[in-house]
Structure 1
């Protein structure tokens, strides 16, 4: 697929890729609230999907090293191809990150791959998607087309690791940006970080689903480990459970 900026990417769904492009490249959703990068920095892209966030950050600041994680096989194949196609330096890994290691069952949505996850609720997610698309300006017919396949799911068994396991195995000494977009598993990702590894993290950007107090627990964990946290909610998601958290280590 050719993007509006002229680049070509491997992808899964054209409509989904167009929305990712708008959020990441046009709205610059990962570069707000004092988030910054410098050449030589290390970025962990957790829930990388096809790699649009990694591609944007690679173009935004040359010389970054990426560790990208995506458990769903079809988006992962596109992720690998996009890293190769655009010369993105680093590693892609076909696994999920959580608070334990082993294996887990992922609910995969072929028609909306970025909403795949371990805590699926197809009816609630269809309603959320309909709200977002309608507020985005799509007409009812287009919304119906994009939401109609939302209940079509597949289950995928995938490996699960903890963030600290990855840090130890790869000898990662600093994480200048930890980007998390894992559909209700974001707190589990942070809980997979051992106390001794927290000082290695300089910045965090995460989509957080505020279900049963998850947002407060997520921000409290960041505050505990020395981060200043800012929260935002996309106007298109006003009144929903979804927030964006931007965390920068104090004094960094």
Structure 2
């Protein structure tokens, strides 16, 4: 089990704090994938916008947003104490005027049980499912060309979970406290099967302030359709795609943007 903070040097020479350099390097690759929805979403940001990063993990997506559009404010949210320590350091080092918050996001405030995977922190969540998470990882690695022996070595113990109790707030509560009068250029959601919980915690008034949403959605029990429909009802144009390396899993990307008003 990984419980100590480590360092990863990115290709551009910057150093980030993490609990697993291998996981952090993989996540940075996802954030900087030129044809990915995260990059497309970041390109929509304008100086002065707020980017709200829900499920920020160690802050790599927040760093990418700040790199892509200097002059934005990033609010990065992560509930796991060990992961948050990394996030807080990375925001301070690499995201000017960034805010890091140690809390989970849901439909209503309170406290909830949460499962942390120390060896795969990005897969942690309210609805952690060790069997499903192992299988998704195996499919991903197989699609990347690894053989069964290597896959078994990588996935053994990967999703050994640690139960936690975490505080929960809502997107709208964060907006009310930290950016009551600002436009939300981008809402990013990566919360491992709790996507609808996050979206249901946004008031109608706050939805009108949100210009774009990028999310990872686990398509279980029709959730991808529900997310698409919810974003469509908010007047957004919605696109979905699946990374070829994730074909055969329930993981999909969603990008939704509010059309510019016409004269």
Where 2:191 maps in the other structure, the secondary structure is coil
Residue 85 of structure 2 corresponds to residue 59 of structure 1: no
Match of residue 206 from structure 1:
215
Could you tell me which residue of structure 1 aligns to residue 19 of structure 2? 12
User: 1:110 Cα deviation (Å)?
Assistant: 0.7
1:95–1:158 Cα contact (<8 Å) kept = yes
1:45, 1:35 → 2: CA distance? 15
Q: How big is the shift at 1:209? A: 0.6
Task: State the Cα distance separating 1:242 from its structure 2 match.
Answer: 0.9
Which of residues 67, 71, 75 in structure 1 aligns to 2:83? Answer: 75
Alignment deviations for residues 81-100 of structure 1 (CA, whole Å, 9 cap, x no partner): 00111243221111111101
- The alpha-carbon deviation at position 199 of structure 1 amounts to 0.4
The alpha-carbon distance between structure 1 residues 44 and 56, as it changes in their structure 2 partners (threshold 3 A), is same
Distance 2:238 2:87 in 1: 29
Distance in structure 1 (CA, Å) of the matches to 2:71 and 2:179: 18
What is the rounded CA distance, in whole Å, between the counterparts of 1:144 and 1:150 in structure 2? Answer: 10
Distance 2:241 2:104 in 1: 25
CA distance in 2, matches of 1:137, 1:76: 32
Say whether the 8 Å CA contact 2:106–2:168 is kept in structure 1: yes
Pairwise CA RMSD = 1.6
Q: Give the SS at the match of 1:31.
A: helix
Deviation of the 1:14 alpha carbon: 1.6
Task: State the distance in 2 between where 1:113 and 1:230 align.
Answer: 27
Q: Which runs of 5+ in 1 are unaligned?
A: none
Structure 1 length as normaliser, TM-score? 0.95
CA offsets per residue over residues 156-183 of structure 1, 9 Å max, x none? 1111001111111224332100000000
**Given the superposition, is the C-alpha separation of residues 25 and 171 from structure 1 closer, same or farther in structure 2, using an over 3 Å criterion?**
closer
How far is 1:71 from its partner?
0.5
Distance in 2 (alpha carbons) for counterparts of 1:34 and 1:106:
29
Alignment equivalent of 1:96, drawn from 86, 104, 128: 104
CA distance in 2, matches of 1:74, 1:139: 32
Contact residue 17 and residue 90 of structure 2 kept, 8 A: yes
Equivalent position of 1:156 in the other structure: 164
